[in-house]
């Protein structure tokens, strides 16, 4: 296992030596880093070398390979984010970090599928967060390493150019499968709803969840041609009779609640092992593809009790949302680089 | 790898969910999911044509992607 969690001093040395880095850590430690060619998001939760870990002292490091030909860093607000796909190089990928619970988070989540060029170039990343005990005391941030600027209201992307013989591919790992229960369709896009159409009948969604005693640790799942896209329930407001989500539901998409998962960690690891990632994690360099980055959802971390548990080489920040072309949640997203 | 021409029926059949595949390429899965929902709301010929163009463009631009190539094989089978 390659070391991925480092001290401030160790990361500072890498930066001073010109390394190009994708970082995650608590705001306090990230604030101590020198300027350089790096981007970061705040999160004290990691899948590290020794398994799931919460630390305000360590920094998760992904170092871009030497063969990367160019990088550039740009910030986005609600208006400019629409052009994000045009800023990704023709051969390369965009690495996007968005601060959680912000307007840019909501805007990207709802509008990304309508952005010009949606999915035509690899875009991945994550939503930054804070220690759950610190919610309300501090805010999630992204940091532009070029300037040292800490940003809480805009998104940040490092555009990475690859040489012609390399190709970036984004994959997703989801332990949840669409169940066989009621068909659930919403009449609006958004992070919060009141009404829902269940098997053709309009009703209040909060009432539905209570009456059916739905296990809200299970996400709603939409089937996108074989890809299960999760929508996790954040809370039920019994006063307002509304339900809020960690990612937006989309109007007219058919959702069903996920099949129950008996052993979250066991199922998670099964998925890790059966995924084609296993094909190259145990192989040699002749395999011609390597995993560069992965991130995993805080809900998987909590529900699968990943603290202290090892997940093979699937290491990376624990996030408040994952990005693979659009916002996802309760999934693991990873980036592979292929030699072609 | 042969990519069906933009005029081939298969693209329209995918958008209209008349043919359904378990695809591997995440970008294709997501774009197809979005376009199929859009066309369900607006099944006009112009919308279908626009959606077919976007799907075709995605596969043209990413035909070297291994997962995309596997999916193109499914379309050509």
Say yes or no to pLDDT of A284 above 50: no
Per-residue pLDDT, averaged over A296-314, amounts to 87
Q: Are A107 and A237 found together in one domain? A: no
What is the β-pairing status of strands A38-42 and A227-231? unpaired
Residue A166 lies in a domain: yes
Whether residues A169 and B66 touch (CB distance < 8 A) is answered with yes
Whether residues B28 and A170 touch (CB distance < 8 A) is answered with no
Residue A155 lies in a domain: yes
Residue of B nearest to A92 (CA): B62
Residue A99 lies in a domain: yes
Whether residues A226 and B24 touch (CB distance < 8 A) is answered with yes
Residue ranges making up the domain that contains A197? 184-257
Per-residue pLDDT, averaged over A79-102, amounts to 97
Look at phi and psi of residue B28 and say left if phi exceeds 0, alpha if psi is from -120 to 50, else beta. alpha
Q: Which pLDDT band holds residue A310 (cuts at 50, 70, 90)?
A: confident
The single residue listed with the structure tokens 């009948």 is A201
Say yes or no to pLDDT of A170 above 90: yes
Q: Are A253 and A276 found together in one domain? A: no
CA pair distance A287, A303, nearest whole angstrom: 34
Structurally, how many domains does chain B consist of? Answer: 1
CA pair distance B77, B60, nearest whole angstrom: 18
| pLDDT for residue A274 | 62
Beta bridge partners of A83: none
Residue A190 lies in a domain: yes
Residue A179 lies in a domain: no
Residue of A nearest to B31 (CA): A119
Q: What percent of chain A has pLDDT over 90?
A: 82
Q: Which pLDDT band holds residue A290 (cuts at 50, 70, 90)?
A: confident
The single residue listed with the structure tokens 């997940």 is A311
Residue A262 lies in a domain: no
Say yes or no to pLDDT of A286 above 50: no
Q: Quick one: tokens of B73? A: 């094989």
Flag whether residue B51 sits within 8 Å of chain A, measured between CB atoms. no
* Residue in B18, B25, B27 to test binding to A, most A beta-carbons within 10 Å: B27
| pLDDT for residue A59 | 98
Higher pLDDT, A158 or A300: A158
Q: Quick one: tokens of A60? A: 């998760």
Q: Are A239 and A335 found together in one domain? A: no
With beta carbons under 8 A apart, name residues in chain A contacting B33.
Answer: 222-225, 227, 229, 253
Residue A145 lies in a domain: yes
Q: Which pLDDT band holds residue A309 (cuts at 50, 70, 90)?
A: confident
Residue A304, φ and ψ in degrees, nearest 5: -90, 5
| pLDDT for residue A273 | 63
Flag whether residue B10 sits within 8 Å of chain A, measured between CB atoms. no
List the single range of A16-20, A101-105, A197-201, A287-291 with lowest mean pLDDT.
A287-291
Say yes or no to pLDDT of A280 above 60: no
Q: Are A191 and A329 found together in one domain? A: no
CA pair distance A98, A53, nearest whole angstrom: 22
Query: 10 Å Cβ neighbour count for A252?
Result: 14
The complex's ipTM works out to 0.95
Beta bridge partners of A40: A23, A143
Residue B50 lies in a domain: yes
Alpha-helix runs per DSSP H in chain A:
8-16, 27-30, 103-111, 205-211, 264-274, 277-281, 298-303
* Residue in A91, A225, A251, A340 to test binding to B, most B beta-carbons within 10 Å: A225
Per-residue pLDDT, averaged over A183-207, amounts to 96
Residue ranges making up the domain that contains B24? 9-76
Q: Are A191 and A160 found together in one domain? A: no
Whether residues A226 and B30 touch (CB distance < 8 A) is answered with no
Q: Are A17 and A124 found together in one domain? A: yes
Write out residues 197-226 of A within 8 Å (CB-CB) of B: 222-226
In chain B, how long is the greatest CA-to-CA distance? 33
Structurally, how many domains does chain A consist of? Answer: 2
Report the residue from B22, B26, B58 with minimal CB separation from A172. Answer: B26
Q: Which pLDDT band holds residue A222 (cuts at 50, 70, 90)?
A: very high
Q: Quick one: tokens of A77? A: 């607000």
End position of a domain, from candidates A235, A257, A279 = A257
Q: Are A49 and A107 found together in one domain? A: yes
Of these ranges, A66-70, A263-267, A306-310, the one predicted with the greatest mean pLDDT is A66-70
Residue B2 lies in a domain: no
| pLDDT for residue A275 | 57
What's the mean pLDDT when you consider all of chain A?
92
Nearest Cα to A319, choosing from A285, A293, A337? Answer: A293
Q: Rounded to whole angstroms, what are the CA distances from A237 to A160, A225, B8?
A: 42, 33, 49
Q: Are A316 and A221 found together in one domain? A: no
Q: Which pLDDT band holds residue A269 (cuts at 50, 70, 90)?
A: confident
The single residue listed with the structure tokens 């910030």 is A75
Say yes or no to pLDDT of A276 above 60: no
List the single range of A25-29, A47-51, A119-123 with lowest mean pLDDT.
A47-51
């Amino acid at each position: 296992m390659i070391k991925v969690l480092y001290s401030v001093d160790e990361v500072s040395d890498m930066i001073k030596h010109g390394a190009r880095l994708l970082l995650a850590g608590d705001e306090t430690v990230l604030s101590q880093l020198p300027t350089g060619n790096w981007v970061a998001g705040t999160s004290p939760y990691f899948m590290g070398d020794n398994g799931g870990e919460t630390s305000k002292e360590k920094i998760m490091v992904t170092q871009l390979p030497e063969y990367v030909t160019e990088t550039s860093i740009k910030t986005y607000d609600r208006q400019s984010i629409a052009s994000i796909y045009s800023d990704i190089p023709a051969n390369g990928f965009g690495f996007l970090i968005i601060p959680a619970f912000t307007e840019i988070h909501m805007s990207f989540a709802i509008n990304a599928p309508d952005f010009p060029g949606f999915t035509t170039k690899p875009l991945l990343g994550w939503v930054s967060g804070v220690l759950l005990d610190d919610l309300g005391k501090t805010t999630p941030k992204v940091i532009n390493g070029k300037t040292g600027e800490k940003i809480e209201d805009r998104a940040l992307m490092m555009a990475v150019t690859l040489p012609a013989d390399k190709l970036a591919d984004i994959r997703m790992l989801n332990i949840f499968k669409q169940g066989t229960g009621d068909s659930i369709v919403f009449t609006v896009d958004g992070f919060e709803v009141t009404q829902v159409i269940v098997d053709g009948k309009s009703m209040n969604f909060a009432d539905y969840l209570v009456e059916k005693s739905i296990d809200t640790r299970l996400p709603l799942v939409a089937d996108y041609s074989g890809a299960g896209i999760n929508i996790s329930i954040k809370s039920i407001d019994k006063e307002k009779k509304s339900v809020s989500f960690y990612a937006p539901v989309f109007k007219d998409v058919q959702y069903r609640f996920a099949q129950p998962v008996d052993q979250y960690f066991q199922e998670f690891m099964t998925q890790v092992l059966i995924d084609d990632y296993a094909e190259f994690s145990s192989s040699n360099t002749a395999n011609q593809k390597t995993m560069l980055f992965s991130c995993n959802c805080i809900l998987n971390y909590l529900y699968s009790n990943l603290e202290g548990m090892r997940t093979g080489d699937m290491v990376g920040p624990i996030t408040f949302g994952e990005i693979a072309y659009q916002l996802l949640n309760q999934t693991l997203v990873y980036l592979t680089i292929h030699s072609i | 790898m042969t990519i069906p021409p933009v005029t081939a029926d298969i693209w329209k059949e995918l958008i209209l969910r008349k043919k359904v595949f378990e695809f591997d390429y995440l970008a294709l899965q997501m774009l197809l999911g979005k376009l199929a929902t859009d066309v369900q709301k607006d099944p006009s010929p112009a919308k279908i044509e626009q959606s077919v163009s976007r799907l075709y463009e995605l596969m043209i631009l990413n035909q070297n992607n291994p997962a995309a190539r596997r999916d193109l094989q499914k379309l050509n089978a």
